[in-house]
Every structure is written in structure tokens, then in C-alpha cells.
Structure 1
Amino acid sequence: MQGTDQRAYDRGTTIFSPDGRLYQVEYAREAVKQGAPVVGVRGEDSVVLAAHAAERSALAVDGDAEKVATVDGHVAVAGAGHAADTRQLVDLARQRAQQERVRYGERAPVAELGTVVADHLQEYTQTGGARPYGTALLVAGHDGAPGLVEIDPSGATREWRADAVGRNASVAREQFEDDYEEELSADGALALALAGLDAAVDDLSVADVDATLVTDDGHERVEEQRLRAVRGS
């Protein structure tokens, strides 16, 4: 009987185990750990998102592996885990960002966008017949000041100076803890982001990095030439 009870906790999205765990949320976190790494670094006046986006096949169309998505002119999002789940959450964030512009004529605060997405994720940890989203997001934006928010599959959020999600994220964070400095320039934040990816990915090629720089003026995709320059290779 004990084995049957254990399987019930294992299958049920909304059922706590006797030791207070939601197994399906933990499985979602495991899915995140299998995803290609994504890092974010907050500088003095900018935020960098960088993702490992290696093509799976030589037949794939160039640029189809972009992992950093535009939410609004001042916000970008990248995720590790199930790409389709990430896409759904990006669409949700885009809708909220546009609602803010239509209703108030202003940019949505980065933290507020993060909370909207996190609330949606949390609902899927307590809804029967559904599963948690198998993705973790880094939300980077500038709404008067640079911000970087991580959103966990459970719906928990936290602001970071530098963070990583996905495969070998803990290794990238150790790199950040060793090398992060206050008041990083844009190029300094880019260099640190690449160092984090270097730590997480064996034989990292700059050609396989999708990076976006967010400032008060908006965001731009960072070209390979600039990545090579700040990396020193």
C-alpha cells in the first residue's frame, strides 16, 4: 500500500507528499537542468542575456536557434528547459507589456512583468489536470534602472546581479561569484556573461552564443564580432 501511496504523490500535481514536496514541480526543475544554459549579468546601466544556442543540424536555417526573445522595447527574456513552454510564457509577458502601453502609455516595470508570469506559473502547481511549466526564465530589462529577475517553475521569483539557469548553472554562478564587480560597463557585463557560459559549456564557440544587451535606450542583439572582441578571441 505504501508504494501505491507514493505513486499517488508522484503523479499528482496538486498533492503534497508527507515530507511537503510537490514531485511534479521538482521534475519540472529537472527539465530545466537539461536545457542549454542561459546567463544574465546586470551592469551599471545595462543588462546582458546570453544563451548557448548551438544548431542541432547543419540543415537548420541560420538564426532559427535564437533563444533570447523580445518582450517589449525595454525587456528581453530567455529560458532554459522546454522551448515550447518558454514560448507560451513569452507571449503572456508580451500581452501584459502591450496592455500597460495601451492603458497607461508607459513601459511596464520589469518586476511587474516578472510577477505576472510567475503568478501564471504558480497556478499550474495547484491546478488539477495540468502540469507545471518545464522552463525557468531570466527576465532582463531597464525601466529607469537595470533589472534581472529569475522565475522558477514553481512561480518563485528573485532578483539577481548575475544568474544562470539550465545545464551546469551552478558552475556558471560560481564563476559570477568569483568575478562579479559593481558598476560593470556594458562590455564588462558581456565579458562576464561569456565567462559564465564558458564555465558551463565545454569548448564554447562565440558563433553559438545568442546575446542581447538591454539599456535605457532599448535592446539590441549583440553581433558575433563584438562578442569576440570582449572575449579577447
Structure 2
Amino acid sequence: MFRNQYDNDVTVWSPQNFMRQECLDSRFVFDRPLPVSRLVSLIGSKTQIPTQRYGRRPYGVGLLIAGYDDMGPHIFQTCPSANYFDCRAMSIGARSQSARTYLERHMSEFMECNLNELVKHGLRALRETLPAEQDLTTKNVSIGIVGKDLEFTIYDDDDVSPFLEGLEERPQRKAQ
């Protein structure tokens, strides 16, 4: 298979490497971290170019970007069309509508929650996307935490167990 500089998909262009390089450039040139909104704006600009040119295929990837900067916490959703949105809570991907519904219903509670309660809300929203016969396990859940005075941390495998153990059983859905 031959690939050249004109290929426009995520097998050639890596969004995470682009973001990493932009953050490093900001640190090196300006001696400060790149604001999350500026990073997302750069991604939007980069992914928007192929949508305007004949024969160029848009990048077929949507991203959910969470970060914390001088302006506070941010969650951005980027779309394959190069649009991006600043959100309070968001879910993307297959079967994500039920998670978005959960997040919308409980949005008012989030401001008073501590870190563990926020993680549990996230896990409950994630659980809503699963089929009835499947449940959350250490094999299908990873948790990433970012915030003020917190170093970005990813919890995988057995590190997720304490969060899952504190989660109540799935409520039975009403048959329709």
C-alpha cells in the first residue's frame, strides 16, 4: 500500500502527536502551557482545511478533549467536520446518546460533587451505554483524571476496581 503527503486520514496524521507538539512548542517559545481552548482551535484549523479543497478527504475522527488551564476546567468535542464545541459534560461515539441523557439530567449536581462522586457519575453515564446483559469491569473501563493542582492520571485494570466497587447495582429498566 502506498501512502503519500496527500493522504488525509488518521493513519497518516496523528492528532495526539499534533497536540503534543503544539504544547511543547508553546512551552519552549512562550515558557507557558498552551491554553486548552487555543489547542482545540489549532486542531479545528488543521482539520478544517481538507473540508474546503476538492479531492481532499476530511479527517474522519471526532475527539473529546479534557483539560485544565488558567481559565478553569474544559471539555471540548471536535467533529470530523472540523467544528468544535466547549461543553460542560459530553459523551461521543456509538450508543453515546443514553450517556448524554444521563449527564444532562444530573448536570446540576456536578458543581457540588467531589472527585470520587464525579467519577461515579461518569461511570453511571458510561454504564447507560452498555447492553443490559453487559456490565462495567476492569477490562472495559479506563478512567482519566485532570484538574486543578492534579497531575493527569490514567487508571487502568486493577486501579479501576475501587471506583467500580463503590458503584451501586444497575437499576432495572422498565419493560415497554
* Percentage of pairs with the same residue: 22
Amino acid at match of 2:36: V
Amino acid at match of 2:26: E
1:146 pairs with one of 29, 54, 73: 73
1:16-95 equivalences under 5 Å are: 84=11, 88-95=14-21
Does the alignment pair 1:225 with 2:161? Answer: yes
Q: With structure 2 as the length reference, what TM-score do the two structures score? A: 0.78
Task: Give the alignment's Cα RMSD to 1 decimal.
Answer: 1.9
* C-alpha separation in 2, matches of 1:108 and 1:187: 28
Amino acid at match of 1:130: R
1:161 pairs with one of 88, 101, 104: 88
Amino acid at match of 1:170: Q
1:213 pairs with one of 126, 145, 169: 145
Structure 2 residue runs without a partner (length 5+): 1-8, 170-176
* C-alpha separation in 2, matches of 1:177 and 1:215: 21
Structure 1 residue runs without a partner (length 5+): 1-81
* C-alpha separation in 1, matches of 2:10 and 2:44: 17
Bigger relative contact order (CA 8 A; separation at least 6): 1
Amino acid at match of 1:134: G
1:190 and 1:230 in contact (8 A); partners too: no
How much has 1:156 moved relative to structure 2? 0.9
1:96-115 equivalences under 5 Å are: 96-115=22-41
Bigger strand fraction: 1
Q: How many positions carry a matched residue from both structures?
A: 151
Amino acid at match of 1:225: S
* C-alpha separation in 2, matches of 1:126 and 1:198: 38
Q: With structure 1 as the length reference, what TM-score do the two structures score? A: 0.60
1:206 and 1:227 in contact (8 A); partners too: no
How much has 1:226 moved relative to structure 2? 3.0
* C-alpha separation in 2, matches of 1:124 and 1:186: 39
